[in-house]
Structure 1
Amino acid sequence: MEKILASIITIGDELLIGQTVDTNSAWMGQKLNDAGVWVQRRVAVGDDKEAIIRALDEEARLSHIILITGGLGPTADDITKPVLCGYFGGKLVQDEPTLTRLMALFEARKLPVLERNVAQALVPDTATVLPNMRGTAPGMWFEKDGKIFVSMPGVPFEMKGLMEAEVIPRLQSRFTMPTLLHHTLITTGMGESFVAERIKDFENALPGHIKLAYLPSYGLLKLRLTSVSPEKTSAAAEMKTAFDALRSQLADIAVAEEDLPMGVILGKILLEKGLTAGTAESCTGGKIAGQITSVAGSSRYFKGSVVSYANETKMNLLGVKATTLEQYGAVSEQTVREMAEGALKALNVDCVMAVSGIMGPDGGSEEKPVGTVWIAAGGKDNIRTTLHRFRYDRARNTDMTVVAAMNELRKWLEL
């Protein structure tokens, strides 16, 4: 069965200069993939007529579906709509349902309606209007030479509403989609090249329609199997067989069998075991707690954190001994163990993570270079300490420490 291919074009100078991070493409890619559409290209262009036209022409040569976000606002720099109008050979006309919805929205908010706001109800007469129930600029569906083009606002909340209510259902009714299946194994403790060497026979034996991807990230390695098949039931069974074989070969380094953040993985284990946790953080400045509490429902298993960046805070709030700090230093096995012991008492939890390290760019020594981190994880009767040596800049060292600390507690919980 032929793959249904899509390209995503994001429009806006702010994307090119880094002022705005493009989160739309990642979300759209996930939704399209779930629906059986294979995203093969993502392109960002500025607010420039010729650049937009070039992108439309090029992506139309490559894909069945071209999704466009951005440039539909009420200001002069929002040029997507007139460019599309010219590209598809139409003229702008007023869409009454859009105007009615727009007027009602402004009236409900007791805001004056400007001429530029009313102009958002103008749409090319060559477009099928997709009602935007979350904003003022409608989506627009065009067809040309057998290809489908869909233009949506760049505001993520509005784009997501249009994708879920209008775009995905229309695409599913138009195309017969193949089944796209993904299954991800998360591992830690072994580098990408060594994992690849271990499973080279497994990888070579995979059928042509199942691909293996290696995705390293912050001390973790994700191994993603992807299958493209016309029939869902047999594809799912075949994928399970392949994944079970992969998992069995990497059982000693496996972390999870789902593509989930470490905070979610750790939270699920704590919930299953009915335990509560907390953190004592020095070098990470509360980021471990932030990762955990970003998960809805984390209050059921996470009680809090002591961010003890300064030595006096380690002593006053966690009970770290002054003699320990003087003799061994803040970045030491002895200090991080006392931080963990103090956090267990201060937070009244079943288990904790404690971290202390040198993130850089300064502060390192020959004995303790930048990237040196001590982590303690465990409970009242058993606290385990580990030394980690990261080799990156301050931001990445911190992110690596956050993941490593949660993984150390995960390993302790699964003892």
Structure 2
Amino acid sequence: MNTISASIITIGDELLIGQVIDTNSAWMAQALNKIGIPIHRRIAVGDKWDEIWQALDQESALSTLIFITGGLGPTSDDITKPLLCKYFGGKLVLHQPTLQHVEYLFEHVFKRGLPLSERNIKQAEVPDNCTIIKNELGTAPGMLFEKNGCLFFSLPGVPHEMQGLMQNEIIPLLQQRFTLGSIEHRTLLTAGIGESMLAERLVEFEKSLPKNLSLAYLPNYGMVRLRLTLNGENATEVNATINTYFENLKALVADVMITDKDEPLEAVVGRILLEQKKTIGTAESCTGGYISHLITSIPGSSSYYEGSIISYSYDIKEKVLHVNKQTLEKYGAVSEEVVREMVQNAQEMLHTDYAIAVSGIMGPGGATPDKPVGTVWMAVSGNHKIITKKMHFRFNRQRNIQLTAANALLLLIQLMNDKN
């Protein structure tokens, strides 16, 4: 059985204070998992010498592969390279091929028109006991060290640079050097049933799972993802086994399953629209275009997405979206009557097969005694139907917007799949 495992260390004070979100370790974990390398731990440390050193000691005692990102820039707070030099007992030397690459970037790519500064030249200094991994997309090279049977990969923190090095250099190296096992995941999404009720339904299924096959419950936005994970040596056997159990799982939750793929709701919407050869538009108030953003984040959405009317104010609802003034005055913008008119008018004006409309109070202000913060009315239309739904969310503004969008998309999926 494959005993190789990896640890990922991300470096930077900006990660610890939340100024920058760590997307690098998530991307790396997924990329390594796909080639059969399990992740032992992901940790973030600040720009502090002792903490980085301690993290290297701790992770190399537990994992055979250590991936480090960040701290390779030209400024004084980037201490990773000199630290690694001392940690592995080397000395910094000027690497001529890297210097030539830096010169090429500044002259032909960045087109600065200025001589290299001392800081720029220092980017080409590397420990003399490492293997250089050329960074085609940036000035800081990747570095590979070996110590006590462990491989240490130091990579730049710029996401697209790190990803290029991983895809083009490091993953092929690992596949060539090690006999890797297989890790497979299968994921489906359910809605309309809570995590505890799902668990009750799947008690016997979980008892039937072999030791190396696990089921995870991942609740979010009022829905629950179910993920099966199987580790094994033979990829063919792993795939056959997990597929069998996944089919059994799908049968057990068929009545509440939204998709049997690991994909967001907006991708589900896009796939159904493409299959049906139909189009969609939106009329958004409280979400301010967020639903449209999600829909258009999917490649190929221009084939089915027509546009949106962001009717945030009463005036735009009335004069642009043509919501009846009397409806607005009598029921208020956050009402079933208004979203019904919004969705119907949007579908007609945008000439689409389906439409979504939402209106609500995202907070922290704007509440009334009968309409507290988090009150949302949503409507979807299509197939000669209009379905409306009232929701009550209880979170902060951003979370309420996200929940509104997710539930509106879910309501649309239910309408699109309704064959009656």
Match status 1:381 vs 2:361: no
SS at match of 2:258: strand
Q: In structure 1, how many angstroms separate the alpha carbons of the residues matched to 2:386 and 2:159?
A: 44
Match status 1:89 vs 2:72: no
Match status 1:248 vs 2:278: no
SS at match of 2:51: helix
After TM superposition, give the deviation of residue 368 of structure 1 in Å. 2.6
What is aligned with 2:281? 278
Q: In structure 2, how many angstroms separate the alpha carbons of the residues matched to 1:135 and 1:370?
A: 47
Question: TM-score of the superposition, structure 2-length normalised?
Answer: 0.96
Paired residue for 2:242, among 232, 239, 244? 239
Does structure 1 conserve the Cα–Cα contact (< 8 Å) formed by 2:2 and 2:179? Answer: no
Match status 1:339 vs 2:324: no
- How many percent of aligned residue pairs carry the same amino acid? 53
What is aligned with 1:172? 175
What is aligned with 2:41? 41
Residues 319-376 of structure 1, C-alpha deviations (whole Å, 9 max, x = no match): 1111111222211111110000110122111110011112222333443332221111
Q: In structure 1, how many angstroms separate the alpha carbons of the residues matched to 2:393 and 2:202?
A: 26
Residues 166-211 of structure 1, C-alpha deviations (whole Å, 9 max, x = no match): 1111111222111000000111111111111111111121111111
Residues 276-301 of structure 1, C-alpha deviations (whole Å, 9 max, x = no match): 10001111111000111111221110
Q: In structure 2, how many angstroms separate the alpha carbons of the residues matched to 1:197 and 1:361?
A: 37
Q: In structure 2, how many angstroms separate the alpha carbons of the residues matched to 1:103 and 1:349?
A: 53
After TM superposition, give the deviation of residue 112 of structure 1 in Å. 2.3
Paired residue for 1:266, among 260, 264, 269? 269
C-alpha spacing 1:111/1:273, structure 2 compared with 1 (3 Å): farther
Does structure 1 conserve the Cα–Cα contact (< 8 Å) formed by 2:47 and 2:77? Answer: yes
Does structure 2 conserve the Cα–Cα contact (< 8 Å) formed by 1:339 and 1:354? Answer: yes
What is aligned with 1:18? 18
Does structure 2 conserve the Cα–Cα contact (< 8 Å) formed by 1:8 and 1:25? Answer: yes
Does structure 2 conserve the Cα–Cα contact (< 8 Å) formed by 1:4 and 1:36? Answer: no
Does structure 1 conserve the Cα–Cα contact (< 8 Å) formed by 2:186 and 2:227? Answer: yes
After TM superposition, give the deviation of residue 219 of structure 1 in Å. 2.2
Q: In structure 2, how many angstroms separate the alpha carbons of the residues matched to 1:3 and 1:365?
A: 60
Q: In structure 2, how many angstroms separate the alpha carbons of the residues matched to 1:386 and 1:70?
A: 46
1:33-182 aligned within 5 A? 33-108=33-108, 109=111, 110-182=113-185
1:152-231 aligned within 5 A? 152-231=155-234
Aligned pair count reads 415
Does structure 2 conserve the Cα–Cα contact (< 8 Å) formed by 1:186 and 1:221? Answer: yes
Residues 149-174 of structure 1, C-alpha deviations (whole Å, 9 max, x = no match): 00010011111111111111111122
Q: In structure 2, how many angstroms separate the alpha carbons of the residues matched to 1:198 and 1:59?
A: 39
Does structure 2 conserve the Cα–Cα contact (< 8 Å) formed by 1:141 and 1:149? Answer: yes
What is aligned with 1:396? 399
**Amino acid in structure 2 at the alignment position of 1:73:** G
**Amino acid in structure 2 at the alignment position of 1:17:** I
Does structure 1 conserve the Cα–Cα contact (< 8 Å) formed by 2:344 and 2:381? Answer: no
SS at match of 2:320: helix
Farther-moved stretch of structure 1 (357-366 vs 174-183): 357-366
**Amino acid in structure 1 at the alignment position of 2:184:** L
Farther-moved stretch of structure 1 (372-381 vs 391-400): 372-381
Q: In structure 2, how many angstroms separate the alpha carbons of the residues matched to 1:3 and 1:111?
A: 50
Q: In structure 1, how many angstroms separate the alpha carbons of the residues matched to 2:102 and 2:394?
A: 54
Q: In structure 1, how many angstroms separate the alpha carbons of the residues matched to 2:374 and 2:262?
A: 27
Any gaps of 5 or more consecutive residues in structure 1?
none
**Amino acid in structure 2 at the alignment position of 1:312:** D
Farther-moved stretch of structure 1 (140-149 vs 170-179): 170-179
